[in-house]
Structure 1
Amino acid sequence: MDDISTGILFSLLILLLVISGYFSGSETGMMSLNRYKLRHQANQGHRGAKRVEKLLARPDRLIGLILIGNNLVNILASAIATILGMRLYGDMGVAIATGALTLVVLVFAEVTPKTLATLYPERISFASSIVLQLLMKLLYPLVWFVNGITNSFLLLLGLRVDKSHDGKLSSDELRTVVNEAGGLIPRRHQDMLLSILDLENVTVEDLMVPRSEIAAINVNDDWKSIVRQLSHSAHGRIVLYRDTIDEVVGMLRVREAYRLMMDKNDFSKENLLRAADEVYFIPEGTPLNIQLLKFQRNKERIGLIVDEYGDIQGLITLEDILEEIVGEFTTSISPTLAEEITPQPDGSLMIEGSANIRDLNKSLNWGLPTDGPRTLNGLILEHLEDIPDSQLSIEVAGYQMEIIEVSDNMIKQVRVLPNQLKKTG
């Protein structure tokens, strides 16, 4: 080193600092990349993305390569800085060189390149991957040796770096990705994607038409009553049963009944029963995502939900599940949530007792409990453990409510006070 001029040593030091900054920026850029975007770009044939994805396939080797290069460069830079310090300032030059080099490395070889790499990870990574790929081939024996020692030490700690990592996202992580998509995905589409992710957390009971509201005809009624019910039916299909709805005999398409009506000779109770389809039963507790696939696999559109004793609990259709994903259809004859909620002049809300709790939470951003009753009426009854009188003020799950109307052993209308709305809105 004594034969090398001071100017050349300064030039070498600057070059080493540049190389150190390259390694630091490359490491940060590689680790800051969006892996899913990178995979998409690689699948689209982007050469830089393919190189980076190949390097990231074994991150332990990539990090080993970068750190080997970075440490060699920094150690050599430290040695040159020490020589320069002693030439210029004698024995005090060691301390001066150490302090100055530390500041320069932090600013120009660490903070600055890593900040740039964080801001522009793709540009930095795609460009540096060319050099890193070449260095990986040249220094592979050294990288393999260093990683072998490191991996052996980690193995003693019970860790395996070669364990496959598929990078799959959980439902909660996917939900976060969708929420943070911002303007990249329209709000409407975000809601649909989130609804699909929520299907596994919702069961058929949450959407079913309750047993008491199922459109059904008792085939043991007199013939005139049956014809009158068919003529005034607002549904496409009607459940046929004997005496009690638990004794279901078929699912009748109303249009098929109309066809029989056109031929008076064929229009009879026997032919009506013969025209009915076989009933499709669904066990209670079935998640919506599973039921959607079962509807598709069994070529069904409607089913009756039964409990463990075989008793009918309710009815659900394919359209009900689709509405959970895309929103309510305008053709639905059931009351919409907007029809069940009436804003009041004082800022409170008048809500029908039959309103679904999940729908209220989604529409109003509330936090009513959903692990019990499915309607507002059921939630209040469970809270009171009694059928209340009207004009009763209560607090349920932190929400101030006033019971307005009670009839037929059911709470028909509830008013939620405005002070609670301000807190939750």
Structure 2
Amino acid sequence: MTSELWVTGGVILFLIMLSFLFSGSETGMTAASRARLHSLAAGGDRRAAMVEKLIERKDRLVGALLIGNNLVNILASALATSLLLTLFGEAGVVYATLAMTVILVIFSEILPKSLALFRPEQFALIVSPFARAVVFVFGPVSSVANWIVRGILSLFGINLGRDAPMVSAHEELRGTVEVLHREGAFIKQERDRVGGLLDLAELEVSDVMIHRTAMRLVNADDPAEQVVREILQSPYTRMPVYRNSTDNIVGVVHSKDLLRALHDVDNEPRRIDITKVASKPWFVPDTTTLHDQLNAFLRKKAHVAIVVDEYGEVEGLVTLEDIIEEIVGEIADEHDVDMQGVKQEADGSIVVDGSVPIRDLNRALDWNLPDEEATTIAGLVIHEAQTIPEEKQAFTFHGKRFVVMKRDRNRIMRLRIRDAGQ
């Protein structure tokens, strides 16, 4: 009789060890970084390749581990109840319930999952042969169970696709970068660069273009000397050329092409025909995403495009530099004009030109003002106020207090912004 008790105790201990592996494998496999596993597999790690293959069917893997875990936990509890009934009679049921609850919670849940979360990739690699064996044994049962679950959920209008991701790859990357920034592994500039790269597919050229009211153009009908002087005095390398109306863009002139042309006519500007020096303009719709426009710039080996609306009217100008700045931040060179768009006041408030883009303000001050409905800070105020504010009129929204400092006709020229609590 004593030997039977020892055998039963040994079986219970073995089942608890199996439960440890089941719980740890579930946590380690689901928490492991797929990017790191892919890197290890590419380096020739066979176990990493095995884990990659297993998590391709995550629903099947988790289902198999849960089935195995519940099976050994129930069996261990039943054997413990039988053992303690033999030793203590009817009171053994209570003793078995208390003992197995404590043992399973500590040694089969908290301990293995804590270890797995501490080193998820390493834990997953260690238990990968065990997990593969579990999937081989319980995989078919897991598939049937998942099919039943999907059928039940479908009755409530929930269509659960196999391994359907809850977030997109971009959202997952963005969340990972944000977490790394909070933990100190990423500085703000690195977070902004990765975020800017991920935003390219969501932003349109109209969000970053130089608006037509701020464009620097030259008139092909002006005297040649005046046109040449304007181009050479401009801080920009490329300038659009129009004729009769600014909506009639006839070309884009590059300052280097102009210098070559001047050299060919012995530096006599009056002999320059600017329309012959200018290259053919490239027009793009204002709804083009920055991702597509960047690829188009690289494909055409171009740097400037004229942005037009659905009616073909000129809205502005977008450059390759504008898109790159969305990733790396403001790029300044020795010829850039210093635009005083944002100024920190002594009282802690921020004085901002109405034309400053919301995204630039968010990036510079680490704010989180919405930019879905408006591109500029003035546009945001008008959108939220649902009217064109008067000077000195104040509004509070999104945790900030906005005061209109200057207005010119229907345009908000300058705003003062402070935290709403100040």
- The alpha carbon displacement at 1:16 in A equals 3.3
Aligned to 2:241, the other structure's residue is in SS state strand
Per-residue CA distance 1:340-362 (angstroms, 9 max, x = gap): 22333333333334333332233
| Counterpart amino acid of residue 301 in structure 1 | H
Compared CA separation, residues 55 and 294, structure 1 to 2 (3 A): closer
User: Take 1:270 and 1:101, find their aligned partners in 2: how far apart are those partners?
Assistant: 94
User: Take 1:120 and 1:403, find their aligned partners in 2: how far apart are those partners?
Assistant: 53
- Among residues 290, 297, 300, which one is paired with 1:298 in the alignment? 300
Residue 150 of structure 1 aligns with which residue? Answer: 145
User: Take 1:171 and 1:226, find their aligned partners in 2: how far apart are those partners?
Assistant: 46
User: Take 1:33 and 1:387, find their aligned partners in 2: how far apart are those partners?
Assistant: 53
- The alpha carbon displacement at 1:281 in A equals 0.8
User: Take 1:69 and 1:373, find their aligned partners in 2: how far apart are those partners?
Assistant: 54
Residue 394 of structure 1 aligns with which residue? Answer: 394
Residue 25 of structure 1 aligns with which residue? Answer: 24
Q: TM-score, normalised by structure 1?
A: 0.81
| Counterpart amino acid of residue 318 in structure 1 | L
Compared CA separation, residues 270 and 184, structure 1 to 2 (3 A): same
Residue 116 of structure 2 aligns with which residue? Answer: 117
**2:243–2:250 contact (8 Å) kept in structure 1:** yes
Aligned to 1:181, the other structure's residue is in SS state helix
Compared CA separation, residues 171 and 423, structure 1 to 2 (3 A): farther
Compared CA separation, residues 72 and 254, structure 1 to 2 (3 A): closer
Compared CA separation, residues 74 and 4, structure 1 to 2 (3 A): farther
Compared CA separation, residues 289 and 156, structure 1 to 2 (3 A): closer
User: Take 1:65 and 1:387, find their aligned partners in 2: how far apart are those partners?
Assistant: 62
Residue 210 of structure 1 aligns with which residue? Answer: 211
Per-residue CA distance 1:25-84 (angstroms, 9 max, x = gap): 333333333333333322332233223333334445544554554455445544543443
**Aligned pair 1:351/2:355, yes or no?**
no
Per-residue CA distance 1:356-391 (angstroms, 9 max, x = gap): 333223323445553555444555677585685x6x
- The alpha carbon displacement at 1:154 in A equals 3.8
Compared CA separation, residues 208 and 76, structure 1 to 2 (3 A): closer
How do 1:185-196 residues align onto structure 2 when only pairs under 5 Å count?
185-196=186-197
Q: TM-score, normalised by structure 2?
A: 0.81
**2:116–2:123 contact (8 Å) kept in structure 1:** yes
- The alpha carbon displacement at 1:191 in A equals 1.3
Aligned to 1:146, the other structure's residue is in SS state helix
**2:64–2:142 contact (8 Å) kept in structure 1:** no
User: Take 1:326 and 1:295, find their aligned partners in 2: how far apart are those partners?
Assistant: 17
Residue 242 of structure 1 aligns with which residue? Answer: 243
- Which segment drifts farther, 70-79 or 239-248? 70-79
**2:261–2:272 contact (8 Å) kept in structure 1:** no
User: Take 1:179 and 1:217, find their aligned partners in 2: how far apart are those partners?
Assistant: 45
RMSD (CA atoms)? 3.7
How do 1:246-285 residues align onto structure 2 when only pairs under 5 Å count?
246-264=247-265, 271-285=273-287
Compared CA separation, residues 15 and 240, structure 1 to 2 (3 A): closer
How do 1:327-346 residues align onto structure 2 when only pairs under 5 Å count?
327-331=329-333, 335=337, 339-346=340-347
**Runs of 4+ in structure 1 over 6 Å off:** 159-162
**1:81–1:97 contact (8 Å) kept in structure 2:** yes
Aligned to 2:364, the other structure's residue is in SS state helix
User: Take 1:167 and 1:63, find their aligned partners in 2: how far apart are those partners?
Assistant: 16
User: Take 1:91 and 1:378, find their aligned partners in 2: how far apart are those partners?
Assistant: 76
- Which segment drifts farther, 26-35 or 186-195? 26-35
User: Take 1:64 and 1:421, find their aligned partners in 2: how far apart are those partners?
Assistant: 49
Indicate the percent of aligned positions where both proteins have the same amino acid: 32
User: Take 1:250 and 1:65, find their aligned partners in 2: how far apart are those partners?
Assistant: 66
User: Take 1:367 and 1:165, find their aligned partners in 2: how far apart are those partners?
Assistant: 30
User: Take 2:420 and 2:346, find their aligned partners in 1: how far apart are those partners?
Assistant: 15
- The alpha carbon displacement at 1:215 in A equals 2.1
Compared CA separation, residues 244 and 170, structure 1 to 2 (3 A): same
Gaps of 5+ in 2: none
- Which segment drifts farther, 183-192 or 75-84? 75-84
Compared CA separation, residues 394 and 307, structure 1 to 2 (3 A): same
- Among residues 414, 418, 421, which one is paired with 2:419 in the alignment? 421
- The alpha carbon displacement at 1:278 in A equals 0.3
Higher Cα radius of gyration: 1
- The alpha carbon displacement at 1:277 in A equals 0.4
- Among residues 303, 314, 317, which one is paired with 2:316 in the alignment? 314
Compared CA separation, residues 41 and 279, structure 1 to 2 (3 A): same
| Counterpart amino acid of residue 6 in structure 1 | L
User: Take 2:86 and 2:29, find their aligned partners in 1: how far apart are those partners?
Assistant: 39
Residue 370 of structure 1 aligns with which residue? Answer: 371
Aligned to 1:200, the other structure's residue is in SS state coil
How do 1:129-144 residues align onto structure 2 when only pairs under 5 Å count?
129-134=128-133, 140=137, 143=138
Compared CA separation, residues 134 and 342, structure 1 to 2 (3 A): closer
- The alpha carbon displacement at 1:405 in A equals 4.5
Per-residue CA distance 1:311-368 (angstroms, 9 max, x = gap): 222111111111121111221755556x222333333333334333332233234455
Compared CA separation, residues 7 and 230, structure 1 to 2 (3 A): closer
